[in-house]
């Protein structure tokens, strides 16, 4: 439970109204009750402010007047402030130091590390202080995991891979599976190219459930500091991603593509292999990136949704677009 | 082994031909042999009826004459009837009550529950009668799982999440991983918003292998009774799905989208965040839903397949469609 | 460490320059140092040859002159040769024969088999010599796994499924989960059709991390010898795939579709159910295959990437393409 003036002392901003108001939880404007701190980050939700049961509301300076006598905190970025308050109210539980009786650990670990039931850690693994290895995780020989990183249940880190500090890796993630590398015989049979690179992941990276990151063929696959990856993303061998890039769910990135810093890749986007995407690029959801991007900006390739019957009428023409252009040219030449 | 008249006594329908015919298995028309019961659900497969080795065939009333002296069962929905017969012939094995020696269980469980090797169940978990927790599953603190629900091997249910009764959860599913929620600092760094909502899943829900469902940010993510989710689906935080909606494989649904009851979402479809899809909507495979849908019906957005050379010729024009429309307008104005 | 003439004695090709040059690692032209063997498989990278620190370089006959006095190996397919050398330099570690104390094994196994911590193997499982069952794997009752096959950590093989010899199955793979089969009641509720087929996988198949392959409804799902599947692929029930077909990441293949031999399916492609794709078909990345393909060749359906503002201008017209065609026809009729 915090008073508004205590929050402001810790996180900045300015109290509007009664500094002694107590809040103990964060909630949306709609759901908030007595004791809750809500936030107004988007003027689209302005109409919900009036009826909200929140004890206090985080608002931007230009919305201060809308508080209309209610208590609140004024800050330039209410959403960022909200994030900080939720962190303050919900600190991660400290590691429960120790190795579960049903875990198999073949490397020496610092005493602060938590290893859950059913986890296995092979030889020559280096693990930092305060790391959590959840139940059923597997960490292969020679892997390194930095201080404070948390692996949820059932994460796989293959041999030799490196994770930085303060990462959060969700359940079902696989780091360091073999890249998809084969040479083809004349008769069509595939000859496996052993994948001998690693995956190297920076600090403060978060990786969502069931995301997969393949190890490099010869060199490494790398994910920069501060990257945030959502669920079910596939990152192929030798991809390199710059700092603080965020990637939404179900994105696939093919081999050897290089992505810059601070990019945002929308859900289900796909990026072809051997491309280069510069810093500060935004790719819209569902877009297939089929060539390199050299200038920051928003890029899109997706279809407008239609009722099925309209789609049938319109889209049949796509197969004859070249002919249509020819017909227009013929008309112009008349 | 059942006689046709025994099947009809249990499941309804009407025997055509010899009621004493014995069947012990269900098979497709093509594969059926002596002792098999086949079905004709689609007149497309009519030609396969004649040569089928089945001992009896399930048909609709309008196909009764096609039996042509063979034995069978006449019912209004042969496919539904077939489903009931397969269930009758293949009841799920009863739970093998008891906790495996290599499982780690920190909550009291009813004696009828089966817990497999390598599974871990944390504190304050409530599990109903006849639940099966497969090998290598993990159930986090405070989760609740209703009577008769079955978790296949290697399922993760994170802390506080709720599953109803008689659900079937396949291997690799992750329920309750953190939603993808971050606020952005001015310098591009991301600040994690702890995800404190839950996932709440109704009764008789089936969830396919490696599907992921994120916990809500503040409020809950919810999946209605009777929903059927295929493999590798990604459901983001705060999505709400109505009853009996079926979703095919590889679909991605972004945050806070609300989907109605009895919808059918085709494979690899994507649904943008913060949308609302009404009841009884069908989305075709591969379609990106980029705006809310307020009327039942079938919606589509996908491209016609072409040989690559034709595609190159036609699709280059898409980037200049606006110019083409302008050229047509100019011709019209002449 | 190998001399060039030793490599040529084992793998074929011809030494150019000093046959006594020693190499101990394979590297890209860019990264190669003293003691490394690099390769030039694509003339695009020709410029990197000159400055490479490699001790020797694998080249095609038409690039022999470019060695310009450096040592190397001349072969008709440098990439295939490179694959063979990497295999020679990086043989898979032999199984560490034996069953981990924390594994639960209910079937007799050959003494050469390795079973990792937390793995569980049910009754009536048949496992060949030199099989590796990684930590946390689960193998269901009655499954069969051929000689030399390796399961990485946390693989699930459900009951009754069959894997051939010398397969490599990566972490998080699920083989034999239930197919997505339901009949629909009039009120919209779904009735599960128990899935009683198996998955049958040939020899020398590789399956990437978190890929899922559903068991057949009545008949089997099957994957031919030599197929290579990348990560996060979804293969639905009763799909049949011919020999040596390669499928890139994130592909979804719907139920009962049959795919020929030696096909190559690009990343994030989708294939609708009940189709037939002939041998030697190439499907481009991101393409939705919505009808059967009866002739070998390359098939594509994807959109050109555009800056968002241009996309908005151009793609709005797609919803009115039929009207545009009508306008052109009207002009032509004038």
Report CB contact under 8 Å: B158, A136.
no
In the stretch 122-151 of chain C, residues with CB closer than 8 A to chain B read 136, 138, 140
Q: Which residues of A form the catalytic set? A: 237
Average pLDDT estimate for B285-313: 95
Least confident of A106-120, A265-279, B64-78, B102-116: B64-78
Q: Which CA distances in Å does A159 have to A121, A122, C138? A: 10, 8, 21
Rg, C-alpha atoms of chain C: 25
- Provide φ and ψ at C282, rounded to 5°: -115, 125
Asked if B26 reaches chain A (Cβ–Cβ under 8 Å), the answer is no
The yes-or-no verdict on residue B298 having pLDDT over 90 is yes
Q: Which CA distances in Å does C5 have to A75, C32, C61? A: 72, 20, 17
What's the rounded Cα separation, in Å, for the pair A314 and A317? 6
Give the dihedral of Cα atoms A234, A216, A265, C230; nearest 10 deg.
Answer: -20
Instruction: For chain A, give the percent of residues with pLDDT over 70.
Output: 100
Q: What is the pLDDT of residues C227-237, one digit of tens each?
A: 999 999 999 99
For residue C326, count CB atoms less than 10 angstroms from its CB and return exposed for 0-12, middle for 13-18, buried for 19 or more.
exposed
Instruction: For chain C, give the percent of residues with pLDDT over 70.
Output: 100
- Token reading at C160: 């009754």
The yes-or-no verdict on residue B282 having pLDDT over 90 is yes
Residue B251 sits in the same domain as residue B309: no
What's the rounded Cα separation, in Å, for the pair C240 and C250? 18
Domain total in chain C: 3
pLDDT of residue C43: 82
- Provide φ and ψ at C127, rounded to 5°: -125, 135
Q: What is the ipTM of this complex?
A: 0.96
Residue C69 sits in the same domain as residue C131: no
DSSP class per residue in A218-244: SS-EEE-TT-EE-TT-EE-TT-EE-TT
Asked if C185 reaches chain A (Cβ–Cβ under 8 Å), the answer is no
In the stretch 224-263 of chain A, residues with CB closer than 8 A to chain C read 232, 234, 236, 250, 252, 254
Binned at pLDDT 50, 70 and 90, residue A68 comes out as: confident
Residue in A159, A119, A163, A164 with CA at minimum distance from that of residue A142: A159
Q: Is C132 helix (H, G, I), strand (E, B) or coil?
A: strand
Q: Which ranges of chain B would DSSP assign to H, the alpha helix?
A: 4-11, 47-51, 78-89, 308-315, 321-333
Average pLDDT estimate for B144-173: 98
Kindly state the helix (H) or strand (E) to which residue B105 belongs, with its residue range: strand B104-105
- Token reading at B80: 């539904």
The shortest C-alpha distance from C259 to chain B (Å) reads 16
| Nearest CB to C314 within list B77, B268, B319 | B319
What's the rounded Cα separation, in Å, for the pair B102 and C102? 7
pLDDT of residue C175: 98
- Token reading at C158: 């459900």
Residue B254 sits in the same domain as residue B119: yes
What's the rounded Cα separation, in Å, for the pair B158 and B176? 5
pLDDT of residue B43: 82
- Give the CATH number, domain containing residue B74: 3.40.1390.10
Q: What is the pLDDT of residues B208-249, one digit of tens each?
A: 999 999 999 999 999 999 999 999 999 999 999 999 999 999
- Contacts with B330 (C-beta within 8 Å, 6 or more apart), sequence order: none
What's the rounded Cα separation, in Å, for the pair A249 and B236? 8
| Nearest CB to B172 within list C119, C210, C268 | C210
Which chain B residues are Cβ-neighbours of C174 within 8 angstroms? 154, 170-172, 209-210, 231
Average pLDDT estimate for B135-161: 98
* Mean pLDDT, rounded, of chain B: 96
Least confident of A93-97, B137-141, B177-181, C253-257: A93-97
Interface test with C, best of A115, A174, A217, A333 (most C CBs within 10 A): A174
Q: Which of C89, C109, C140 is the last residue of a domain?
A: C89
Find the distance separating the first CA and the last CA of chain C, reported in whole Å: 79
pLDDT of residue B334: 84
Specify the DSSP class assigned to residue A89. Answer: H
Interface test with A, best of B115, B184, B275 (most A CBs within 10 A): B184
pLDDT of residue A45: 83
Residue in B53, C96, B293 with CA at minimum distance from that of residue A308: B293
Residue C206 sits in the same domain as residue C117: yes
Asked if B13 reaches chain C (Cβ–Cβ under 8 Å), the answer is no
What's the rounded Cα separation, in Å, for the pair C186 and B206? 19
| Nearest CB to B244 within list C178, C183, C190 | C190
The yes-or-no verdict on residue B41 having pLDDT over 90 is no
Q: What is the pLDDT of residues C87-108, one digit of tens each?
A: 999 999 899 999 999 999 999 9
Residue A156 sits in the same domain as residue A272: yes
Determine contact, residues A242/A222, Cβ cutoff 8 Å. no
DSSP class per residue in A165-184: SS-EE-TT-EEEEPP--EEE
Which chain A residues are Cβ-neighbours of B192 within 8 angstroms? 83, 87, 168, 206
* Mean pLDDT, rounded, of chain A: 96
Give partners of A (≥3 CB pairs < 8 A): B, C
Asked if B274 reaches chain A (Cβ–Cβ under 8 Å), the answer is no
The shortest C-alpha distance from A206 to chain B (Å) reads 9
pLDDT of residue C41: 87
Taking CA–CA distances from B286, the nearest residue in chain A reads A286
Residue A186 sits in the same domain as residue A215: yes
Residue C267 sits in the same domain as residue C155: yes
Residue A272 sits in the same domain as residue A333: no
Rama region for C172: left / alpha / beta (φ>0; ψ in -120 to 50; rest): left
What's the rounded Cα separation, in Å, for the pair A25 and A37? 6
The yes-or-no verdict on residue A69 having pLDDT over 90 is no
| Nearest CB to A234 within list C116, C232, C311 | C232
pLDDT of residue C51: 87
What's the rounded Cα separation, in Å, for the pair C26 and C89? 8
Average pLDDT estimate for C127-154: 98
The shortest C-alpha distance from C331 to chain A (Å) reads 8
pLDDT of residue C171: 98
In the stretch 79-108 of chain C, residues with CB closer than 8 A to chain A read 79-80, 82-84, 86-87, 89-90, 92, 100-102
Average pLDDT estimate for A139-153: 98
Asked if B305 reaches chain A (Cβ–Cβ under 8 Å), the answer is no
- Token reading at A147: 């201080």
Q: Which ranges of chain C would DSSP assign to H, the alpha helix?
A: 4-11, 47-51, 78-89, 308-315, 321-333
Instruction: For chain B, give the percent of residues with pLDDT over 70.
Output: 100
Q: Which of C89, C109, C142 is the last residue of a domain?
A: C89
pLDDT of residue C334: 84
The yes-or-no verdict on residue C322 having pLDDT over 90 is yes
pLDDT of residue B46: 83
Catalytic entry in C100, C159, C170, C237: C237
For residue C187, count CB atoms less than 10 angstroms from its CB and return exposed for 0-12, middle for 13-18, buried for 19 or more.
exposed
Which chain C residues are Cβ-neighbours of B241 within 8 angstroms? none
- Token reading at A264: 């945002």
Q: Is B325 helix (H, G, I), strand (E, B) or coil?
A: helix
Determine contact, residues C58/C45, Cβ cutoff 8 Å. no
Q: Which of C89, C108, C129 is the last residue of a domain?
A: C89
Determine contact, residues C84/C37, Cβ cutoff 8 Å. no
Asked if B301 reaches chain A (Cβ–Cβ under 8 Å), the answer is yes
Residue C244 sits in the same domain as residue C185: yes
Which chain C residues are Cβ-neighbours of A174 within 8 angstroms? 154, 170-172, 209-210, 231
Residue B153 sits in the same domain as residue B168: yes
Least confident of A52-56, A228-232, B315-319, C160-164: B315-319
Half-sphere exposure of B205 (CA within 13 A, CB side): 28
CA angle A151, A154, A160 (to 5 degrees): 65
pLDDT of residue C44: 84
Determine contact, residues A56/A21, Cβ cutoff 8 Å. yes
Average pLDDT estimate for B79-102: 95
Q: What is the pLDDT of residues B22-35, one digit of tens each?
A: 999 999 898 899 99
Determine contact, residues A171/A209, Cβ cutoff 8 Å. yes
Specify the DSSP class assigned to residue B35. Answer: T
Residue B156 sits in the same domain as residue B62: no
Asked if A270 reaches chain B (Cβ–Cβ under 8 Å), the answer is no
**How many interface pairs between B and C have CB atoms less than 8 angstroms apart?**
229
Host domain of residue C29: 2-89
pLDDT of residue C307: 95
Average pLDDT estimate for B301-326: 92
The yes-or-no verdict on residue C272 having pLDDT over 90 is yes
Q: What is the pLDDT of residues C26-79, one digit of tens each?
A: 998 988 999 999 999 888 888 888 889 999 999 999 999 889 889 999 999 999
Determine contact, residues C231/C251, Cβ cutoff 8 Å. no
Give partners of C (≥3 CB pairs < 8 A): A, B
| Nearest CB to B31 within list C183, C219, C289 | C219
What's the rounded Cα separation, in Å, for the pair B47 and C105? 48
Length of chain C equals 334
Q: Which ranges of A1-90 would DSSP assign to H, the alpha helix?
A: 4-11, 47-51, 78-89
Which chain C residues are Cβ-neighbours of A299 within 8 angstroms? 305-308, 311
Report CB contact under 8 Å: A182, C80.
no
**How many interface pairs between A and B have CB atoms less than 8 angstroms apart?**
231
Determine contact, residues B103/B85, Cβ cutoff 8 Å. no
The shortest C-alpha distance from B297 to chain C (Å) reads 15
Q: What are the respective helix, strand and coil percentages of chain C, to the nearest 5?
A: 20, 30, 55
The shortest C-alpha distance from C73 to chain A (Å) reads 17
Binned at pLDDT 50, 70 and 90, residue B91 comes out as: very high
Residue C284 sits in the same domain as residue C174: yes
pLDDT of residue B68: 87
Average pLDDT estimate for C123-145: 98
Q: Which ranges of B60-205 would DSSP assign to H, the alpha helix?
A: 78-89
- Provide φ and ψ at B327, rounded to 5°: -65, -40
Instruction: For chain C, give the percent of residues with pLDDT over 90.
Output: 92
């Amino acid at each position: 439970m915090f008073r508004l003036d205590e929050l402001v002392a810790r996180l900045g901003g300015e109290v509007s109204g009664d500094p002694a108001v107590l809040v103990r939880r964060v909630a949306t404007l709609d759901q908030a009750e007595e004791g809750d701190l809500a936030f107004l980050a988007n003027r689209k939700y302005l109409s919900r402010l009036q009826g909200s049961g929140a004890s206090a509301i985080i608002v931007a300076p230009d919305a201060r007047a809308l508080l209309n006598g209610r208590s609140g905190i004024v800050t330039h970025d209410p959403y960022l402030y909200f994030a900080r308050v939720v962190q303050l109210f919900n600190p991660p539980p400290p590691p429960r130091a120790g190795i579960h009786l049903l875990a198999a650990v073949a490397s020496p670990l610092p005493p602060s590390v938590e290893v859950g039931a059913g986890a296995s850690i092979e030889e020559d693994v280096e693990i930092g202080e305060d790391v959590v290895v959840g139940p059923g995780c597997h960490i292969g020989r020679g892997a390194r995991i930095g201080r404070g990183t948390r692996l949820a249940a059932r994460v796989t880190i293959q041999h030799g891979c490196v994770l930085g500090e303060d990462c959060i890796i969700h359940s079902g993630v696989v780091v360091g599976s073999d890249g998809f590398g084969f040479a083809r015989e004349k008769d069509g049979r595939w000859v496996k190219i052993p994948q001998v690179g690693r995956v190297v992941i920076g600090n403060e990276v978060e990786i969502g459930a069931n995301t997969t990151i393949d190890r490099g063929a010869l060199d490494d696959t790398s994910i920069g500091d501060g990257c945030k990856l959502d669920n079910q993303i596939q990152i192929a061998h030798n991809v390199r991603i710059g700092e603080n890039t965020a990637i939404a769910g179900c994105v696939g990135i093919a081999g050897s593509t290089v992505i810059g810093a601070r990019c945002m890749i929308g859900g289900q986007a796909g990026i072809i292999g051997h491309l280069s995407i510069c810093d500060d690029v935004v790719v819209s959801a569902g877009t297939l990136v089929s060539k390199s991007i050299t200038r920051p900006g928003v890029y899109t390739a997706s279809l407008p949704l239609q009722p099925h019957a309209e789609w049938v009428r319109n889209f049949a023409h796509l197969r004859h677009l070249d002919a249509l252009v020819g017909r227009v040219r013929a008309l112009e030449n008349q």
